[in-house]
Amino acid sequence: MAASSTSSPDYLAPFRIEPVFTARVWGFRDLRPWYDRPTEAQPIGEVWLTGDDCIVATGPHSGEKLGSLFSTHCSALLGAQAFAGGSPLLIKVIFAKEKLSVQVHPDDKMAQKYGQPRGKTECWYVLAADPGAQVAAGLKPGTTLANLQQGIRDGTLENSLSVLSVHAGDMVFVDAGTVHAIWPGPILLETQQNSDITYRMYDYGRPRELHLEKSLEAVRFDTRAGKIAPRQSNGRTVLIDVEYFRVERIPVSGTISSQQLRANEKPGLAYLFAASGAGRLSGPGFGPIDLATRGIVAVPASSPEFVLHDLVRPEGALDLIRITPNWPAESR
Return the SS3 of 104: strand
Please, what is the Cα angle at 84 between 83 and 86, to 5 degrees?
85
Q: Long-range pairs for 231-234 at CB < 8 Å and ≥24 separation?
A: 233/263, 234/263, 234/264
Burial class (CB in 10 A: 0-12, 13-18, 19+), 90: buried
- Catalytic residues, by residue number, are 200
SS (H, E, C) 249-274: EEEECCEEEHHHHHCCCCCCCEEEEE
Sign of the alpha-carbon torsion through 244, 13, 74, 265: negative
Task: Give, in order, the Cα–Cα distances in Å from 189 to each of 103, 124, 138, 166, 172.
Answer: 18, 6, 19, 13, 10
Per DSSP, what are the bridge partners of residue 291? Answer: 279
Report yes or no: 240 and 311 within 8 Å, Cβ to Cβ.
no
